[in-house]
A and B are shown apart, each in its own frame.
Chain A
Amino acid sequence: MAADVFTLNGRETPFTPGQTILEAAGAAGVRIPTLCHLEGTLPTGACRICVVEVEGARTLLAACTTPAAAGMQVHTESPRVVAARKTILELLLASGNHNCAAVAGDGARWTDFQLRVAQTEKTADLCPAWGDCRLQELAFQYQVHAGTYAPPDAGPDLEDVNPMIVRDLSRCILCGRCVKACNEVQVNKAISFGYRGSRTRIVAAGDRPLIESDCVFCGECVQACPVGALVERKAGYAWRPWKAERIRTTCPYCGVGCQQWLHVQDGKIVKVTGVEEAAPNRGRLCVKGRFGYDFIYSPDRLRTPLIREGEDFREASWDEALDLVAERLKAVIAAHGPDAVAGVSCARSINEDSYQMQKLFRAAIGTNNIDHCART
């Protein structure tokens, strides 16, 4: 057999030395499920949902940490693999307040559980990640029901004091993606694994709420969390992926120009996420780009033209306001020349607006008195 070829589900598949089974399979279009794996960070093999069967190996191996090797025979969906994944998923589902239909196997027990969750979370809605949860998706894919293990008795583990982010660690599956997002992607070093053994949980320094920690609310951890343990406060239970449309746009704040997905529901932006793989930000956003969108819905917005009357303003129609502007401009130009008019454009608005304003000044008014805060 040629070098750098292994067998994947019976097919000869090329790989580049150093590639993991997960990467080589991905390149060949074979999807192996993952939970803890986060693009661009070091794999840990923690969740083991990516296990595959390698002929000759005693145990199943984690595809994210096992390098592909020449001649290796790999099965990604063998009965042994599927059975192992089912067990992992059942245990994960039973480990926390996963109150979605994925756990609705046993009617009576589920209803009790759901009622308890609803009471503590003060909403009858199912988990806010419903429809956007890797665990739920995999549970459906592998037809896992929670019947095997009893739902947990533990109540929610809610940290509800932070702006922007709600943490409910009772839904945390300890995959560690948030820790990688915070430490390896954004390098903010605000959260890590704390405590030991069965008490292991994700904590900010000193197990304090995020708002009292080094957290800068970039929300990278929320974007990385595969389940409902980290949720955008403003999106909360309102955002439901099947109701929302995704529109790509560019951040309105700084000159990095991050690419955003606007999640729009009933004509309103309900949350913002980074566009993975896009230049320049590769899915990343900062606190302003991720959470600074709702100013457009402020009741303070200007809704109609205003014309000064003494110390106050009165509302006016477009025609009235624009006629007044044109009359006054004409009068100034007639009396003092076009250079008695000056304008400042906006460095936050679109190119087309700045183009149009300088054209208005140069072509229609007849002056080069047009500037913007180019240097600040």
Chain B
Amino acid sequence: MTNSFGEFARARMFVVIGSNMTEAHPVAATFVKNAVARGARLMVVDPRRHALVDHAHWHIPIRVGSDIAFLNAVMQVLIAEELYDKAFVASCTTGFEDLRAKVAGYPPERAAAICGVTPEAIREAAREMAAVKPAMLCYTLGITEHTCGRNNVVTVANLQMLLGNMGVECGGVNPLRGQNNVQGACDMGALPNVFPGYQPVVNAEARAKFEAAWNVPHLPEKPGLMIPQMMEGLVSKKIRAFYIFGENLAGTEPDIRKVEHELAAAEFLICQDIFPTETTRFAHVVLPAAAWSENDGTFTNSERRVSRVRTASAPPGVAQPNWWIFREIARRLGHTWAADSAQALWDDEIAVLAPALAGIRYHRLEGDGLQWPCTREDHPGTCVLHKDGDFTCGRGKFTPVDWTPPAEESCSEYPLVLSTGRRLAHYHTRTQTGRCEGMNAILGEETADISPLDAADLGIADGERIRVRSRRGQVEVKAKVSPRMPRGLVWMAFHFREANANWLTNPAFDPVTLTAEYKACAVRIEKTG
């Protein structure tokens, strides 16, 4: 997030796109609802009329995967009607002419046909967005989990720059991160192309710095593989040893059958986890780890806030902290590392090596933590990024892109679109929430949510068991007929093994980020009887 949750309460307007906030980020949603109660405006762009829409002034139910067409058309209107922030565009951005040329190809009439809304709705949306400044734009995986996910992300940034909503309080581009520490895992360099602090592995200077710090003669310069490439490498034998730490890939990756085939092909699979999972079934060695609240450390939330995690109870059996396990393996590979606690890792290595974290030390994290960039020990941390148009590399650059349809569109054989996500009371494959007393009583089984119109067409009653089929698999699941669903859409989560949506999802990936298209694949539904 360029901005912070603390600004939600004071914000004057929100544009929420592809984010089912009340279920996926419930506490963040409470601050949006508070702001609305105090007079803030709320526009929700989402195929589903999810619970946040109950509080919204406008709901624009665009079709799954039509975000770029919609946003480009909004920008076309902003430019044609001269509603954009000319001063900001002139002084803080580059590439405006390219953007103008690109979005000229998206008049509302054209986008309306792609998005399934009226041209007037698009015009009105553009005018309303321009009417209140600043506006906070929030998005979640509805933007990223597409084959055009990266292009979706740059398009929302284009919009906020065009509106002059960047670098100001209560504005900005605010992706709400799914997992508690996905921001931190990126910051720490658990990515194939960057060291901690986003220093590129292809950069010789960066390598030299880490070679010296880690006391090794040579660090690899070629960016590594991303998860889908690794998985395919298991079958092609490009990858011989695979180490999975804490992820239940056999439940969370698209097309479970394919994933299980890949995992079964692994020559040597190491799984490090707190529970046996669908994935550990394929392991050759399973290493038991300490869980949340069983060791000390830090998490970094969506607003870049580094907060402490503290020990409350002891891990079971001989389970050990994860960092200890990695250290022991390194030692057996001939590398002796000094840091023998999470605090030592942070204070002596992470803060020293990542410039944006240089001012953060454990002793400074006792209260509410610190938001990076925090570059010196007397730096208070940063709530709002790019303040006063100050982008990381000079001016903000418009990156105009074209709309592309999802990899798999509905057809006569698979006439509906399946989109997926999380539900409130559970988390991912339920390895944790499924083992918390009471959670299964709140939500005990998966449903396929469908619209009353589709239900009527197919003669399906609420609560009836149905079969959902895609080109990759099928599941049997209870139908939930909901007026919140638009015609043509089926919605499911991946919390329950038997009815996990990932038996159906399409392993098609964004070409740049290799994020899978969890949000759109073609399915059909049928009665089981």
The residues of A with any CB-CB pair to B shorter than 8 Å are 163-164, 184-187, 211, 216-218, 233-234, 247-259, 262, 264, 267-269, 278-281, 284-289, 291-298, 300-308, 313, 318, 321-326, 328-330, 332, 335-336, 338-376
Contact = CB atoms under 8 A, between A and B. Distances in A.
B322 to A, nearest CB: 4
B506 interface: no
B427 A292 contact: yes
Given A251-B180, A308-B283, A211 B350 contact: no
A343 B144 CA distance: 23
Contacts of A184: 34, 37
A187 B30 contact: yes
A229 B481 CA distance: 36
B476 to A, nearest CB: 25
* Chain A CB within 10 Å, residue with most, of B181, B283, B292, B346: B181
Nearest to B328: A322
A249 B293 contact: yes
Contacts of B193: 368
A227 to B, nearest CB: 22
B437 A255 contact: no
A324 B285 contact: yes
* Chain A CB within 10 Å, residue with most, of B180, B201, B333: B180
Interface string B85-117: 000000000000000000000000000000000
B518 to A, nearest CB: 7
Contacts of A285: 27
B183 interface: yes
Interface string B436-458: 11110110000000000000000
B131 interface: no
Interface string B278-304: 000001111111011111011111110
Given A256-B302, A308-B284, A344-B227, A249 B310 contact: yes
Interface of B: 4-6, 22, 24-28, 30, 33-34, 37, 55, 141, 144-145, 149, 176-193, 195-196, 201, 210, 214, 216, 218-220, 222-227, 230, 233, 238-247, 249, 252, 267-268, 270, 273-276, 283-289, 291-295, 297-303, 305-314, 316-323, 325-330, 332-335, 337, 342, 345-346, 349-350, 367-369, 424-425, 427, 431-439, 441-442, 510, 513-516, 518
Contacts of A329: 241, 329, 333
B321 A269 contact: no
7 contacts: A234-B438, A248-B310, A280-B4, A295-B435, A326-B332, A351-B188, A355-B190
Given A296-B313, A340-B239, 14 more contacts: A163-B438, A184-B37, A247-B312, A264-B312, A278-B367, A288-B424, A289-B27, A296-B291, A298-B275, A322-B328, A325-B270, A350-B295, A354-B190, A363-B210
B192 A370 contact: yes
Contacts of B267: 332
Nearest to B222: A368
A273 to B, nearest CB: 13
B181 A342 contact: no
A296 B289 CA distance: 11
* Chain B CB within 10 Å, residue with most, of A301, A321, A354: A354
Contacts of B226: 371
Given A355-B345, A376-B141, A371 B240 contact: no
Given A187-B30, A280-B301, A291 B436 contact: yes
Contact of B243 (A294, A296, A343, A366): A343
A354 B306 CA distance: 14
Contacts of B5: 256, 279-281
Contacts of A307: 284-286
A284 B326 CA distance: 35
B4 A370 contact: no
B288 A259 contact: no
Contacts of B349: 355
A330 B333 CA distance: 7
Nearest to A232: B438
Given A256-B27, A279-B368, A350-B298, A187 B34 contact: yes
Contacts of B195: 358, 362
A362 B193 CA distance: 11
A196 B329 CA distance: 68
Contacts of A350: 181, 184, 295, 297-299, 309, 322-323, 342
Contact of A376 (B37, B342, B436, B518): B518
Given A360-B329, A376-B145, A340 B307 contact: no
Given A163-B442, A355-B349, A367-B220, A301 B316 contact: yes
B156 to A, nearest CB: 15
Contacts of B177: 254-255
Nearest to B34: A187
Nearest to A186: B30
A291 to B, nearest CB: 6
Nearest to B427: A253
A253 B317 contact: no
A283 to B, nearest CB: 10
